[in-house]
Each structure stands twice: as C-alpha cells, then as structure tokens.
C-alpha cells in the first residue's frame, strides 16, 4: 500500500469512528454511569497549605520562584512583558515553566471495521469533579521517568516503542499561553493490532462517543480534547463531496454542514496561502519582549506565605495544596496549583459563506506563546468582562456571542488541565450568525473553514488550546 492510500485509509477509519455512536463494548450511558460511579467511589482530599508547608516544594524567595526539590516537574516563575499588541502594552505575571515534553496519547484498535479509542477515568487534583475521561496516557517526562518515585504509567511501552506504521497522529502542541511559558506536549495516536485487555480504569470508545460526551459539562478532560482536535478526515473538492453524498440525511443539519466544512478544501473565503500571509504579517507587526523576573518583585502581584495573587484580585492566583488520591502513581503529595479568579469564555462565531461553514478566528498574543501569535477563538476572555458593560465593550464580538437571539450550536463548561489548574472552567460556545453579519472584520480577525483550521493544527503551534478544545467538540451527528 502506498503512502497516499494508507493516509486515506487512516482518515476513513477516523471518519467512520466519528460517525459511530453504537458501541457493543460500552454504551454511552454505560460510560456516563462509569464516570459517576468512579466519582462516587474516589477518595480525594485537597487541602490548601502554606508554601513553606509543602513537601519537596518551596517558595524560593532569593531567586523568586516556586520550585521542586528535584528541579524537575515544573516551576512558577515571574515574567515581565512588553508588546505593541492590544490595549495592554506592559504587564508582569507569574507563569508555569515546564520545559519537558510529555506524552498525551491514545491507543486505538479496529474491531469489526470501527476504530476504538482506549480511554481512562483519570483523577486530577484540580478537576471540578475529580474524575474525567483522559487519553490512554497522560504523563510528563518527570512522571514517566519516575522522578516522584511512583509507578510507571500504564501502557507507556506501547508509545515508547511505537513504530512508524503504528503512528496515526504525532504532533507537538502548545498549552495555555497565558499560563505556561512555551509549553508543548506530544499529542500522539497509535493503532495496534494485538489484543489489549483494558485495565480496571480503561474502556474502548468510538470517536463519535467521545465527541458526544463533550456535550456534557466537565466529562472529557483537556488532554483528550487536544489530542483528538488534531485528527483530519482528509481533503476533498466540493464537487466530490456533493457527488458521493457521504452523509445520508438532512443536508441542512449543522452536523452535515460541519463535516462538509471539515472535508472541503477548495471553497473557502481565503486560500490557505492567504491565511499564512495574513498571520505572517501579524507576527512581523507585533513585538513580544519577555524578561524573566523574580516573583517577589512583580509590580502588580503580591506574595504572601499562602498565595501569589494580583493586587486587584484579577486573572488567577497561585496556591499550595496537599493532595491525597487513591489510585494515582503516588497517592499523596504536595504541589502548587493555579486557581482562576473567574470562569472563562471561549467562543467561535461561525457563518455559512458561499455554502461552507467558516469560523471567525483571531490572531492572539499571549506571554507564553511559542511564536508570538496563535490562532484563537473569536472570543477568549474571563467571564468578568461580561459582567461589566465598559469592560464588555473592550472584547470584540463578546456581545454577539452572549446575544441569546443568535443560534447556539454548542454551549458547555469544560475544565482545564487538573494537574496544574484548580477547578478552572471555560464556557465553550459556538454561535452561528446570519447572512447579515458582515464578512468584513477587524484586522486581527479572519475567516477559516474547519478544513483549514485542521491543517493549521497539523503544523504545530499555530492553533491555541482553547480553539483546539472547541474544534474537538464538533460533532457531525446532529
């Protein structure tokens, strides 16, 4: 089989799985009951403690950072930022520095022609409901090299020893640019032929089931969302899609329109090259100057024995916690966590332009971005902005997203990564606007099809994690 034929086969397997809800191994209802049961059973204790009370962690006042005794895992450091982007030209902040590249990965296997994903119920200290559905493996380098002295993550060998024939997806993807400093993880999906018996906390699900479960609040964790966002179903002409009528059913349904936007490569408002030129011009236009700074000397933040927080009680705070969890590699430990001051709003405005759904995307600068700007949702902000009319006006299109007269395609709360963030939730919204909404948008915004967005995800560090989270939630079955 040549390379093109193999790639088409992989894309077809992903697409069939995305269009499949019927699972003879685990029904969707079974999975929801399983998550609820695990949450009811789990014994989790999270206690806030002073930084000096944390075992193996300390607030290093001399060097101005929060660090682990091994100098592994991650640290909390200070940054000073200068830019010519947006309304805030200068600020300082704490940020997570975690230079390690970890594994976020799925094992998949074909049963009766359908591709299944091996998913686990994983407990994280910062999760809203503790247990969420995670990829087969979710481990930093410090985890899988056992710096903590715990157990080796389950199924690690399958990823370490994966052959090129087994790898279906393999990408380096960014994390939250406002929270992490140039952090990336290896997002990987492998397909195995040998029989694998799922361990106690693991089950087989179709891609369609995973996407369906994203319609529920805080069931699918952030790491699952980022991995599956990188899945492509291939590139086709609009005529080919229309001729083969790949989805039998209502062509006016949003599911059909979304799938057409994901597959069609030759019917977009702007060509892929035009989008590249637009983004390149923005990266040249905007400067991002970063200087490391002692946390003790941050102008807009105060440091106490128990918290690092903004002087106006905005954005987020750094806290210390003691964690006790039953089924983790290590059952008890201390660590710092990032606690948000408010819920977030992450939203795409979509519009049918010449018969293809387009997404209104912004080029967004954040302090920890790997390459200055990343493609972000139309709106990405704290919910605090929606509560204040003057603040609300500062966020382009926020009023459109929150206007109840528009057609809401998707609206749920999704948690951020519970290993670093304490009960952080974003309201994930997709809103469809009518033909009267102008195609002319501010210079930092543009229109992309879902096919174009998925291409940018493949190229790494182009699409931010908030946008990838929303993209992963798109289902083609409604």
Position 149 scores a pLDDT of 58
Is the fold of 3-42+99-235 the same as that of 263-287+343-472? yes
**Two structure tokens written together for 280:** 């390149």
**In angstroms, how far apart are the furthest CA atoms of the chain?**
68
pLDDT digits (tens, 9 = 90+) for 84-143: 999 899 999 999 999 889 899 999 999 999 999 999 999 999 999 899 999 999 987 766
d(CA 73, CA 477): 40
Contact 42, 326 (CB under 8 A): yes
d(CA 18, CA 259): 10
Which contiguous run of DSSP H or E holds residue 452? helix 450-458
Position 328 scores a pLDDT of 53
Mean pLDDT value of segment 202-221: 97
d(CA 113, CA 443): 46
Cα Rg, the chain, nearest whole Å: 22
**Two structure tokens written together for 49:** 């403690």
Buried b (16+ CB within 10 A) or exposed e, 338-376: bbbebebbbbbbbbebeebbbbbbbbbbbbbbbebbbbb
Average the pLDDT over each of 73-82, 142-151, 459-468 and give the range with the smallest value: 142-151
**Two structure tokens written together for 135:** 């990829």
d(CA 142, CA 165): 27
Domain ranges across the chain: 3-42+99-235, 45-87+295-340, 263-287+343-472
Q: What would the DSSP string read from start to end of 7-54?
A: HHHHHHHHHHHHT----SS--HHHHHHHHHHHHHH--EEEEEE-GGGS
pTM of the model: 0.94
Contact 394, 385 (CB under 8 A): yes
Residue 147's pLDDT band (boundaries 50, 70, 90)? low
Mean pLDDT value of segment 403-420: 93
pLDDT of 335 over the 60 cut = yes
pLDDT digits (tens, 9 = 90+) for 394-403: 899 999 999 9
Residue 459's pLDDT band (boundaries 50, 70, 90)? confident
Q: How many CA atoms lie within 13 A of 99 on its CB side?
A: 3
pLDDT of 1 over the 80 cut = no
**Two structure tokens written together for 64:** 């101005």
d(CA 54, CA 34): 33
Q: What would the DSSP string read from start to end of 107-170?
A: EEEEETTEEEEEEEEEE-TT-SSSEEEE-SEEE-HHHHTTTTS-PPPTTHHHHHT--TTTEEEE
pLDDT digits (tens, 9 = 90+) for 29-55: 999 999 999 998 888 899 999 999 999
Fold of 3-42+99-235: Nucleoside Triphosphate Pyrophosphohydrolase (3.90.79)
pLDDT of 330 over the 70 cut = no
% the chain with pLDDT above 90: 81
Fold of 263-287+343-472: Nucleoside Triphosphate Pyrophosphohydrolase (3.90.79)
Position 72 scores a pLDDT of 83
d(CA 454, CA 258): 12
């Amino acid at each position: 089989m040549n390379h093109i034929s193999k790639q088409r086969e992989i894309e077809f397997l992903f697409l069939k799985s995305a269009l499949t809800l019927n699972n003879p191994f685990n029904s969707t209802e079974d999975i929801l009951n399983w998550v609820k049961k695990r949450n009811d059973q789990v014994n989790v204790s999270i206690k806030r403690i002073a930084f000096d009370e944390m075992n193996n962690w300390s607030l290093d006042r001399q060097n101005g950072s929060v660090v682990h005794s091994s100098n592994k895992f991650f640290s909390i450091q200070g940054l000073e930022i200068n830019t010519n982007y947006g309304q805030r030209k200068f600020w300082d902040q704490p940020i997570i520095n975690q230079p390690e590249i970890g594994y976020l990965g799925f094992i998949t296997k074909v049963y009766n022609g359908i591709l299944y994903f091996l998913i686990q119920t994983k407990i994280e200290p910062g999760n809203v409901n503790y247990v969420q559905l995670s990829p087969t493996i979710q481990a930093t380098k410090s985890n899988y090299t056992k710096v903590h002295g715990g157990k080796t993550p389950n199924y690690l060998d399958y990823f370490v020893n994966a052959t090129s024939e087994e790898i279906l997806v393999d990408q380096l993807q960014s994390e939250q640019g406002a929270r992490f400093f140039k952090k990336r993880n290896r997002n990987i999906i492998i397909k195995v032929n040998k029989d694998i018996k799922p361990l106690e906390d693991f089950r087989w699900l179709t891609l369609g089931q995973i996407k369906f479960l994203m319609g529920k609040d805080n069931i699918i964790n952030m790491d699952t969302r980022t991995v599956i966002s990188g899945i492509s179903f291939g590139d086709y002409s609009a005529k080919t899609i229309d001729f083969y009528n790949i989805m039998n059913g209502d062509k006016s349904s949003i599911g059909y329109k979304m799938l057409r936007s994901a597959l069609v490569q030759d019917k977009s408002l702007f060509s892929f090259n035009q989008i590249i030129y637009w983004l390149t011009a923005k990266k040249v236009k905007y400067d991002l100057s970063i200087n490391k700074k002692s946390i003790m000397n941050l102008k807009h933040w105060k440091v106490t024995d128990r918290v690092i927080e903004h002087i106006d009680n905005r954005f987020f705070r750094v806290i210390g916690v003691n964690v006790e969890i039953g089924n983790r590699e290590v059952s008890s430990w201390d660590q710092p966590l990032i606690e948000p001051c408010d819920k977030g709003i992450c939203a795409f405005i979509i519009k049918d332009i010449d018969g293809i759904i387009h997404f209104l995307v912004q080029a967004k600068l954040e302090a920890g971005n790997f390459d200055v700007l990343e493609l972000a949702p139309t709106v990405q902000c704290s919910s605090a902005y929606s509560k204040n009319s003057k603040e609300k006006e500062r966020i382009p299109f926020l009023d459109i997203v929150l206007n109840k007269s528009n057609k809401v395609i998707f609206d749920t709360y999704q948690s951020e990564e519970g290993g670093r963030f304490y009960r952080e939730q974003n309201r994930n919204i997709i809103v469809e606007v009518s033909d009267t909404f102008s195609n002319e948008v501010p210079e930092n915004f543009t229109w992309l099809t879902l096919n174009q967005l998925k291409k940018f995800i493949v190229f790494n560090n182009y699409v931010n994690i908030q946008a990838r989270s929303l993209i992963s939630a798109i289902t083609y079955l409604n």
